[in-house]
Structure 1
Amino acid sequence: MPGRGGRRLFTIILICLVILVSATLVAFSPLALELWKNSPANWNWLSEVGQTYGAASALLAMFALVGVAVSLVLQAREAKSAREQTLRSLHGELMRMAMEDPLYRACWGAFFTSDDPDAQRAHMYVNQIVNHWLTMWELRSITEPHLREVAQTVLAGRTGGSTGARSGSSG
């Protein structure tokens, strides 16, 4: 969804710009007050004005705290995504090893009840295709109508149809 990423980037840029402008205004406001008052520096008056910045300081601290919280949430999501990707890679590698060697294929037990090694390998390959679709769906890189179309094509075939009816999804 390119529009969604563009809006997110725009929102981030806008928030950073608001924070930067706010910080700049806070930093230069004593100078502006002196120009506005148009008299020599009255430090007592300026210190009283400075005390009013307590609320602004609290507000800026809150923005910083929210920024840290958002950052932690994004890091947690990224870590979860990395763990899921690692698990999928491991599953794919285990399936590849089983597809290449009947000894490893036997380790999967009852998932592969056919005596035909080619049918077993075909079942594993369809499993890999379904896992690929799952990844695409979770990343929102495939729409539901497109997924239904490709699934109907693959699962309508001799290998796909017999695989789905026999044991369901194995991963």
Structure 2
Amino acid sequence: MLSLRGRPSQKSRTLVVISCVLSTFGLILGTPFILNILAPDDLNWGQLSNVSQTYGALSVLFSAAALAGVAASLWYQARQTQLAQEAARRDAHRELIILALGDPSLLACWEPPQTPMTATRRKQILFTNLIVTNWESDFRLGNLGEAALRDMFDGHFQGEIAREHWVTGGPGWRVSAELSADPMRRKFVEIADERYARAVADGSPVAAAEYFETAP
């Protein structure tokens, strides 16, 4: 058993706190009288008052700056909380897609594709959507700049499945971006549309069947 010897009682600690509070109030109330006793006879109290008013004005500015700092901190915390909640929702959504990719019978639990396609192509489209979603998260968090994102989309849209994904899924991304209050999400979709249009203008995509050589 731990020894309790040497520990002040709750009553003693309470008395200490009360004494400190009363001493502080007494010091504050007695400060004018103390200053009057210690101040020299030729002290210009009017000038001292003007100086104190100047410091009072400065204190208002410092208080305003501190309030602005608190407001900025609260906004940043709210922003981080929102991003964390969105990340949690995306993680849950990604887990559901991964389950469907592992079990083709679960693909029918999602909405039907807008255009007829095989189950294999549907899995490829869903996996491509995971890739683009990951890029969007990095872009919104500031881990991926606009120049790097454009370069990534340039390579991405050279592929047949990437273009098919944006044809079928692009409208949903645009609606989500328009409904979002986050300008970074709208910018992401804008860049994706821009690079997709450029890729289409450059020519036909590389067919998925031509990605890899046949093993000898």
TM-score, normalised by the number of residues in structure 2: 0.50
Query: In structure 2, what is the equivalent of residue 151 of structure 1?
Result: 153
Deviation digits for residues 139-164 of structure 1 (CA, Å, limit 9, x no counterpart): 33333343233223233223223333
Indicate which of 39, 44, 53 corresponds to 1:42: 39
1:9-158 aligned within 5 A? 41-42=38-39, 45=43, 49=48, 51-52=52-53, 53-111=55-113, 114=116, 116-158=118-160
Identity of aligned residues (%): 29
Query: Are residues 143 and 55 of structure 1, via their aligned partners in 2, closer, same or farther at CA, if it must alter by over 3 Å?
Result: closer
Task: Specify the alignment match of 1:160 in structure 2.
Answer: 162
Q: 1:97 to 1:105 in 2, by over 3 A?
A: same
AA matched with 1:68: V
Paired residues of 1:114 and 1:120 also in contact (CA < 8 A): no
In the TM superposition, residue 59 of structure 1 has moved relative to its aligned partner by 3.0
Q: 1:57 to 1:146 in 2, by over 3 A?
A: closer
Q: Which amino acid aligns with 1:42?
A: A
The structure whose RCO (Cα within 8 Å, separation 6+) is larger is 1
> Which residue identity lines up with residue 133 of structure 1 in the other structure?
W
Find the counterpart in structure 1 of residue 14 from structure 2: none
Between the two proteins, the alignment pairs up a number of residues equal to 131
Cα root mean square deviation, aligned: 3.0
SS for the counterpart of 1:111 is: coil
| Alignment partners' CA distance in 2, 1:126 and 1:103 | 19
More helix by share: 1
Alpha-carbon deviations, 1:31-90, whole Å to 9, x = none? xxxxxxxxx941795876364343333333323322221221111111122122122212
Provide the rounded CA distance (Å) in 1 between the counterparts of 2:117 and 2:64. 65
Highest CA radius of gyration, 1 or 2?
2
